[in-house]
Chain A
Amino acid sequence: MRRINFPLLVLGSVLLLRVATARAADKPRYGGTLRVEVPAASVSLDPREWRVGSLESATNEKLAALVLERLVALDNYGRFQPVLAADWSHDGSSKRWQFAIRSGIKFSDGTGLTPAEIVAALQPLLPGTEQIFASGNTVVIQSTPPVPDLLEQLSSGRYFIYRLQTNGALAGTGPFVLSEAPSGGTASHGVGAHLYFRANEEAWSGRPFVDGIDVTLGVAPLRAMFDLQLGKADLIELAPDLVPRAKQANLRVWTSEPVTLYGLRFDDAQAAVSDVRLREALSLSLDRGTMANVLLQKQAEPAAALLPQWLSGYAFLFNVDTNLERAKELRRGLPANEAAGLEPLRLRVDPSGDLAKLLGERVAVNARQAAILVQVISRPIPRTGAPSSAASDPPSGVHLFAWHYSSLSPHAELDSLFAAYNLTEASEVNATSTDHEQLYARERKVLEERRVLPLVVQAESVGLGPMVRDWMPARWGEWHLADVWLELPEPAPADSLNTGNAAAPSSPQPRPTAPGVKP
């Protein structure tokens, strides 16, 4: 028998103990408050109020997902998972869909979830071509055109199930409940305002790990990053220009798929843009690579298509390279008074914020290389109503827009985008087709007419604090905060000061309720 090497035995014991300790540390824990900071100064949790495609709707959707749930969900593997709908089926033409409602689910106000509540919630959100009604324990959606991608639609965007309470507040079935929710639209405004979401102890899917989520609104990106560095925040939305800095500071950064499109659309308010040669010259002058890789510091990709590759699957087929010589040639062929001569093209930057303004100015710089004068107007427009020029400003021929992809259905997304910017009429292709070739043809038609010029598609980035565990969002940016737990520091001695995060859990004793099986 060989002699046991004692030092090796000791080392092995230590390693085993270490592994065991590590496993214990990875075990989800209950408690704590997740501190979230977002730059939006105003949010709305009411899906009926959201403007499709707007940047604000992204934050709204993320926060609404804390208290509201959809019928179905799409996981990161592309599989649909039942949520409030336990099962679903459709006819052969995909015009009639039937969803069996999961039983025993209650809203946060204690009332039970019924098909009628679902119908009431979805009715104002569905397009006019789709009718919804309850049938027993099921909900039926009847569409005039076939909707084979209905599950993609219902698993994303604003299709949340809610119950409108008598006081005007919305009740949901989600893992969190908004505390002290403002009446009506469940909205809060103002820089530094807080929204507190407490854990829904009665959630059908099980109590979330954290006791609550404290959302601070209107925090400037740089300030949010400093808060994250200093441990004053656990989760922040990172602006693209801060991602490199955050990485340099060794902060945890997660980046989604590109979810926001920046592009140019033309408005007949300036007669010069009616000439397709000018629009093409402008398009050829644009250096999208520099926009994405330098100005947005590689947090975006040059966009040649309206829908991103991960959503449409055909975006790689589009290609727009910079061709300054061709742009100049086209420009020379234009009448002298168009664009460069007497009156410059007015480019209104519709979204607020430095990033959009920077892109607008870059467009102007690029265009000038092709002898096209572009005047950038970066005053933000009112949020309500359709985008339009302020009465005091001269009409703008070009708008820089930002479009946030909210639907997992490329068909629905393209429809929404076309509808928002009046591009539907420009397409002669069957608008109701969900076939990808037809979808590609529609988009190609619009792009060839240069009525809209995609610039870049930008991803979302999130900064995570060191205590955040099991951060498993959807790759298109949707947060799953019910799965997140906090690795809190060891409880401090009673006589010591309690500093920093909530290291002290709001619920001293976690409920014995086991976390439900998440889809």
Chain B
Amino acid sequence: MSFRTKLFLIFLVTVLASVSLVAYGVTHYTQAAFEESDAQRSEALVAQFNKEYAQRGDEIARQVKNITDAEITLKVAIDLAGPRPDQSLYVHDAAGAAQDHGLDFVEFVNWDGTLISSAQYPARVGYKNDWVASNKNWNDSAPFLRKEELPDGVALSLTVVRTLSGGNDKNLYIVGGRRLDQNFLASLVPPAGTRALLYRNLEQGFVASALTDVNGSFEQADRLQPLIEQIQKQPKPTVRTIDWTENAADAESFHAIPLMGRNNELLAVLLLGSSRRELVLLTRHILQIAAAVAGAAILIGLLISLWVSARITRPLEELAEGAREVASGRWDTVIDLRGRDEIGQLASAFNEMTQTLAAQREQLVQTERVAAWRELARRLAHELRNPLFPLQITVENLQKARQLDAKQFLEVFNESTATLKAELANLNTIVGRFSDFSKMPAPHFARVNVNESLRNAVRLFEPQFNAVGKPPVIPEYFLTEPLPEIDADADLLHRAFQNLVLNALDAMPAGGTLTMRTTEHEGNVRIEVADTGKGLTPEECSRLFTPYYTTKVQGTGLGLAIIQSVVSDHHGTISVSSDEGHGTTFCIELPQRQSAHRATPVEEAVAAEKKPPQSLTAAASD
């Protein structure tokens, strides 16, 4: 991934994160604000309910008090307190009182608990209401919730009881109440988005029809069943959110408030619902705006980051390109960058570096060239000195032999001429070697079996493995079969393998194991030749492929140079690894196929002449 892409992504992520953070923050705080507002609305509704509840109780108490204070009621009380009263005279009085005072429920209960008159259930007249007579004085009692029995079922009543003395220590009880139903809910006038439901807990378990709203029975009552049942088990205020549909906007939070009776029994549950639609829609709106802002920000950020990253990375790219050119050998590369910032300073430093490198390289090339010539001269001198010394001795012996008799002179002459010819031949050989190295032929590629070529090369040295008087060398083969054929020049490859084997044999004067290994590796063929000689030092390894460098007393230093030349002509690589005291391993990797468009080995050879000599690595890559 390029630096520009990374920079762009960093910008992008930064913008996205910023926008997301802002959207989250706005949503979170909006939601919190709404929740608080919702709680306030619910509290307001609860307060309104409590107020309405109290007001209704007060109103009922006032109306019941009015009934109690009425003359006709006093007359009834006095009559009923007398001996043998005719209770039938008052059987319909409660209905009239209820109608006159706007109450749903009115009952007159005699001192002994006998129901004298009932507005809501006149058929019960004559039966006992013992709970009323159990308290002799109700006048200071507060309104309370009560289960009211009716002919067609049971209702919930907010009830007030008052006592009226008829004399003779006999009281008349006036029980008045109003129905707690949807009409009561309608009087609450809940704020927008909220509503009130009433569950009348008049039967065991959950009864769907007992749940009402202002319009009567409430549909989908079963959805509130768990909440109601929870209140039934544990009567305490509870809050629960109901998802009416899959749409989150239809969800509704319900505050359930248990309404207890006089004996602390659960008689009703007030459910104050608060729609979450506003919150959800607001959240959605915020998210939509956030998405739009994020989109715009991303777009703008994209453009800006592209521009910024391009502006920032262009000098860096030029630096990188310059570095690549330097790496490719163009030491005189100069980057045209202006500016006084760090990038400009970096470019200036880069240019100074390349100039320094170019100068040093030139200096190094010259130094190496001089060193190479010196080495060549030393080698030539060394090579040539060996045959020249016998030649000089032979010539001096021949000059001394002129004083000998002819027979002896002839004998010396013949020996001297033979020696001269031999040493001259030796000189010719030395010169031939140098000549051969300078005239490496261009390879002619054909399909070559590497294993076969390697075996043939080794086979030439088999007589030396077990030569008499020499320690034995044991060849070991680890050749992959079948190994793909490669495009190669069979002669050059054979020559290279010969030099490798010869080097290995020279490295094992005390005998050892010669290991040949071939493998296929990532489309290339790898050939390894290892010996178990004394190994090389790192310094020797680094200079191993320098022409005319040798660690041997009799070597010309051309063997490995020839191998490197062959490998390079085949667009392969050669490397050496050595463990001092345990042996050396040469590894050659050759491509299976030679590309048609590649430069010919000759061109490569010409180009190679321009390259600096490799000192640290023996890799010959294109």
Q: Which residues of A contact B (CB under 8 A)?
A: 241, 244, 287, 290, 293-295, 297-298, 358-362, 364-365, 376
From the candidates B121, B126, B151, B152, name the one contacting A294 in the complex (CB within 8 A): B126
From the candidates B87, B92, B123, B126, name the one contacting A364 in the complex (CB within 8 A): B123
Answer yes or no: B24 CB below 8 A from chain A CBs: no
Which residue on B lies nearest to A377, using beta carbons?
B152
Tell whether, in the assembled complex, residue A297 and residue B91 are in contact, meaning their CB atoms are under 8 Å apart: yes
Min C-beta distance of A216 to chain B, whole Å: 24
Q: A294-B87, A295-B122, A364-B151 are in contact. List 5 more A-B contacts (CB 8 A).
A: A241-B92, A294-B125, A294-B126, A295-B91, A297-B92
Contacts of B127 in A (CB 8 A): 365
Tell whether, in the assembled complex, residue B152 and residue A376 are in contact, meaning their CB atoms are under 8 Å apart: yes
Min C-beta distance of B128 to chain A, whole Å: 11
Complex Cα gap A101–B87 (Å): 54
Chain A, interface SS category: helix
Tell whether, in the assembled complex, residue B123 and residue A361 are in contact, meaning their CB atoms are under 8 Å apart: yes
Query: What are 19 A-B residue pairs whose CB atoms fall within 8 Å in the complex?
Result: A244-B88, A287-B126, A294-B91, A295-B122, A295-B125, A297-B92, A358-B123, A359-B123, A360-B123, A361-B121, A361-B122, A361-B123, A361-B151, A362-B123, A364-B123, A364-B151, A365-B123, A365-B124, A365-B127
Min C-beta distance of B209 to chain A, whole Å: 16
Which residue on B lies nearest to A359, using beta carbons?
B123
Instruction: Known contacts A364-B151, A376-B152; decide if A294 and B123 are in contact (CB<8 Å).
Output: no
Complex Cα gap A358–B120 (Å): 11
B residues 124-139 near A (Cβ < 8 Å) are: 124-127
Contacts of B122 in A (CB 8 A): 295, 358, 361
Min C-beta distance of A206 to chain B, whole Å: 43
Tell whether, in the assembled complex, residue A293 and residue B88 are in contact, meaning their CB atoms are under 8 Å apart: yes
Complex Cα gap A290–B125 (Å): 8
Tell whether, in the assembled complex, residue B126 and residue A290 are in contact, meaning their CB atoms are under 8 Å apart: yes
Tell whether, in the assembled complex, residue A295 and residue B123 are in contact, meaning their CB atoms are under 8 Å apart: yes
Complex Cα gap A358–B151 (Å): 9
Chain B, interface SS category: loop
Complex Cα gap A290–B91 (Å): 11
Tell whether, in the assembled complex, residue B152 and residue A244 are in contact, meaning their CB atoms are under 8 Å apart: no
Complex Cα gap A295–B92 (Å): 8
Complex Cα gap A214–B314 (Å): 117
Tell whether, in the assembled complex, residue A297 and residue B88 are in contact, meaning their CB atoms are under 8 Å apart: yes
Min C-beta distance of B260 to chain A, whole Å: 27
Contacts of B123 in A (CB 8 A): 295, 358-362, 364-365
Complex Cα gap A244–B76 (Å): 14
Q: How many A-B residue pairs have CB under 8 A?
A: 39
Contacts of B121 in A (CB 8 A): 361, 365
Complex Cα gap A241–B152 (Å): 22
Contacts of B92 in A (CB 8 A): 241, 297
Complex Cα gap A295–B117 (Å): 10
Contacts of A297 in B (CB 8 A): 88-89, 91-92
Interface string of B57-93 (1 = CB under 8 A from A): 0000000000000000000000000000001110110
Min C-beta distance of B543 to chain A, whole Å: 112
Min C-beta distance of B130 to chain A, whole Å: 15
Interface string of B15-52 (1 = CB under 8 A from A): 00000000000000000000000000000000000000
Complex Cα gap A475–B73 (Å): 36
Which residue on B lies nearest to A357, using beta carbons?
B151
Min C-beta distance of A459 to chain B, whole Å: 15
Which residue on B lies nearest to A354, using beta carbons?
B122
Contacts of A360 in B (CB 8 A): 123
Contacts of A290 in B (CB 8 A): 125-126
Complex Cα gap A54–B317 (Å): 114
Min C-beta distance of B530 to chain A, whole Å: 102
Complex Cα gap A358–B124 (Å): 10
Min C-beta distance of B289 to chain A, whole Å: 56
Q: Which of B87, B88, B123, B126 has the most C-beta atoms of chain A within 10 angstroms of its own C-beta?
A: B123
Which residue on B lies nearest to A299, using beta carbons?
B88
Min C-beta distance of A413 to chain B, whole Å: 29
Complex Cα gap A155–B125 (Å): 41
Contacts of A241 in B (CB 8 A): 91-92
Interface string of B405-435 (1 = CB under 8 A from A): 0000000000000000000000000000000
Which residue on A lies nearest to B122, using beta carbons?
A358
Complex Cα gap A362–B123 (Å): 4
Complex Cα gap A73–B87 (Å): 41
Complex Cα gap A359–B126 (Å): 14
Min C-beta distance of B529 to chain A, whole Å: 104
Complex Cα gap A365–B124 (Å): 6
Tell whether, in the assembled complex, residue A376 and residue B151 are in contact, meaning their CB atoms are under 8 Å apart: yes
B residues 489-509 near A (Cβ < 8 Å) are: none
Complex Cα gap A359–B125 (Å): 11
Complex Cα gap A3–B617 (Å): 185
Contacts of B151 in A (CB 8 A): 361, 364, 376
Contacts of A364 in B (CB 8 A): 123, 151
Contacts of B126 in A (CB 8 A): 287, 290, 294
Complex Cα gap A365–B88 (Å): 18
Contacts of A294 in B (CB 8 A): 87-88, 91, 125-126
Min C-beta distance of B148 to chain A, whole Å: 15
Which residue on A lies nearest to B125, using beta carbons?
A294
Complex Cα gap A492–B470 (Å): 178
B residues 120-171 near A (Cβ < 8 Å) are: 121-127, 151-152
Contacts of A293 in B (CB 8 A): 88
Which residue on A lies nearest to B86, using beta carbons?
A298
Contacts of B124 in A (CB 8 A): 365
Contacts of A358 in B (CB 8 A): 122-123
Complex Cα gap A494–B5 (Å): 120
Complex Cα gap A287–B125 (Å): 11
Contacts of A361 in B (CB 8 A): 121-123, 151
